[in-house]
């Protein structure tokens, strides 16, 4: 089974963006299963094999790594049942769903998108992360600079939108030198390229290179949130992706 995708997969996603309803999807379920789901699960297998070298705590079974195509509409005014992309989240094994730090990939009609970092930390993870950054902000900035260094043959990584607080969080000095890091609510890097990149037979290699490049950042966030305890979060949050 190939780990790259076919033109039929991109065509399906474009059709889903225009016809986001269960009748349309069910009439094309076979295409979803064979052209999108199966290649994504195979891609995850290949990435998992490589991640044993640089992020072993982020290896999960493909079924737990691939994110559902169904949207959670319970608390949303938008009742469209399906996402318009296929996605995977390589999260830390001891974390629930998309909490903690991890490696994210999605393929949409328009793009292949990577995002590596911490996007939805639980309150206890968030506090631990900020306390660590308050003490080791120079180290964190050094790691961030390292992973964003341009590399031949790779799309350059850039910082994600931090969705920063307007004020310093409670318990931290207003004039702390790590102010921009402490006010952030998300930490990580990202990059995008045209969706046609997913058709490349060497697509898995590209995913692995991007994840390997960002691994020092993800592992630094892991260390800040979990230390050496491998502590599990107390409750899950809704996925942001």
Topology at the third CATH level for domain 7-226 = BirA Bifunctional Protein; domain 2 (3.30.930)
Would you tell me how many other CB atoms lie within 10 Å of the CB of residue 209? 16
pLDDT at site 2? 65
The answer to whether the CB of 82 falls within 8 A of the CB of 69 is yes
DSSP 3-state of 89: strand
| Domain spans, the chain | 7-226
Whether the pLDDT of residue 142 is over 90: the answer is yes
Rounded CA separation 145/23 (Å)? 47
pTM metric for this prediction? 0.91
Q: What is the pLDDT of residues 37-66, one digit of tens each?
A: 999 999 999 999 999 999 999 999 999 999
Q: What is the pLDDT of residues 171-193, one digit of tens each?
A: 999 999 999 999 999 999 999 99
């Amino acid at each position: 089974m190939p780990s790259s995708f076919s033109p039929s997969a991109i065509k399906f996603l474009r059709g889903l963006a225009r016809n986001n309803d269960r009748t349309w999807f069910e009439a094309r379920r076979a295409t979803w299963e064979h052209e999108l789901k199966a290649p994504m699960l195979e891609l995850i297998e290949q990435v998992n094999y490589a991640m044993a070298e640089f992020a072993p705590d982020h290896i999960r079974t493909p079924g737990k790594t691939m994110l559902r195509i169904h949207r959670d509409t319970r608390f949303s005014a938008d009742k469209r049942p399906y996402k318009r992309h296929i996605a995977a989240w390589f999260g830390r094994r001891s974390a629930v769903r998309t909490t903690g730090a991890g490696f994210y990939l999605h393929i949409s009609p328009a793009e292949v998108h990577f995002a590596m970092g911490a996007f939805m930390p639980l309150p206890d993870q968030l506090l631990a992360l900020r306390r660590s950054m308050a003490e080791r902000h120079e180290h964190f900035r050094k790691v961030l600079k390292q992973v964003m260094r341009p590399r031949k043959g790779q799309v350059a990584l850039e910082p994600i939108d931090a969705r920063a607080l307007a004020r310093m969080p409670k318990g931290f000095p207003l004039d702390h030198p790590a102010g921009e890091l402490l006010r952030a609510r998300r930490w990580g890097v990202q990059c995008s390229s045209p969706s046609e990149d997913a058709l490349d037979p060497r697509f898995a290699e590209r995913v692995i290179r991007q994840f390997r490049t960002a691994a020092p950042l993800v592992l630094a966030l892991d260390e800040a949130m979990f230390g050496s305890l491998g502590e599990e979060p107390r409750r899950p949050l809704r996925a942001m992706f």
